[in-house]
Amino acid sequence: MLLKGKVCIIVGAASLRGIGYATAELFAEHGAKVVAVDVTMNDQMVSEIKTSIDKKTNLDADIIGLRCDISKAEDCDRVISEVITRYGTIDCLVNSAAVVKSQSLMEIEQNDFDVIMNVNLKGAFNLCRSVLKVFSERKNGVIVNVASVAAQRGGGLVGGAHYAASKGGVLSLTRSIAREFGPLGIRANVVCPSMTETGMLDGNVSDEKFKEIIDAIPLKRAGKARDIAGACLFLVSDLSAYVTGATVDVNGGSHIH
């Protein structure tokens, strides 16, 4: 078990079809104590997540769920405080929370831009800032932010320019954290998925467009949420102890650079 006894906060984990849930499942499989966080999290969702994970892993997983609006700094501070109160420590943060809209640049209204930025970029900043207070005291800790190939290639698959820009900001934010907090023993890395079979595709990609994108991927398939979770597992475990400031591409070869 790569994460036995580690306290891992996974943000954006409410959907059983999502990257956050897949990461929670894989981390639990490797012995982690999982804190599943989402803006829509409630007791029923926590029960569904635990039931699903226990069934798939044959474990009695240690999982709690907390609600958090990551666009609000005080809410992020509250969640971190609650986790410390319960477990006494935090070992890693995986942020996979995001919203996406497929719009051309000239269609993007101010509210659309604000919603994307407040969750994808400001939310990542708030989460990292809150958990870094704990990590700095401990002189240890790992952050993994899930960005997107859109940040690297300038959108063009699912999200619009605002989505690509927000994820580009996540890349720069994570690298800045790695540089500033590395001397304290804190690591920060990014995972960049491409087309992944999650609920984020719903209403954003037509069947025709989906097939067109798949045809252009060397591995000839879309990513699965567990593919992304595997990269997150590597980055939070000791297998990547000398990796920080890195961007790990999980894109089937669709963006080789």
Map out the domains of the chain with their CATH numbers.
7-245 (3.40.50.720)
Rounded CA gap, 159 and 101, in Å? 5
pLDDT digits (tens, 9 = 90+) for 168-217: 999 999 999 999 999 999 999 999 999 888 766 666 667 887 888 889 89
Taking Cα atoms as reference points, which of 162, 93, 164 lies closest to residue 129?
A: 93
Catalytic residues: 163
- Residue 200: its pLDDT value, please? 63
Over residues 234-244, mean pLDDT: 98
Report the C-alpha dihedral over residues 98, 101, 104, 107, rounded to 10 degrees. Answer: -120
> DSSP for 33-71?
EEEEEETT--HHHHHHHHHHHHHHHTS---EEEEE--TT
Residue 118 is given by DSSP the state I
- Residue 205: its pLDDT value, please? 67
- Residue 34: its pLDDT value, please? 98
Taking Cα atoms as reference points, which of 3, 4, 8, 17 lies closest to residue 226?
A: 17
Q: Yes or no: say if 92 and 142 are a contact pair by the CB < 8 Å rule.
A: yes
How many whole angstroms from its chain centre is CA 45? 18
- Residue 155: its pLDDT value, please? 76
* Cα-Cα-Cα-Cα dihedral sign, residues 99, 243, 127, 14: positive
Report the range of poorest mean pLDDT among 77-81, 246-250, 251-255. 251-255
Q: What stretch of H or E contains 137?
A: helix 123-138
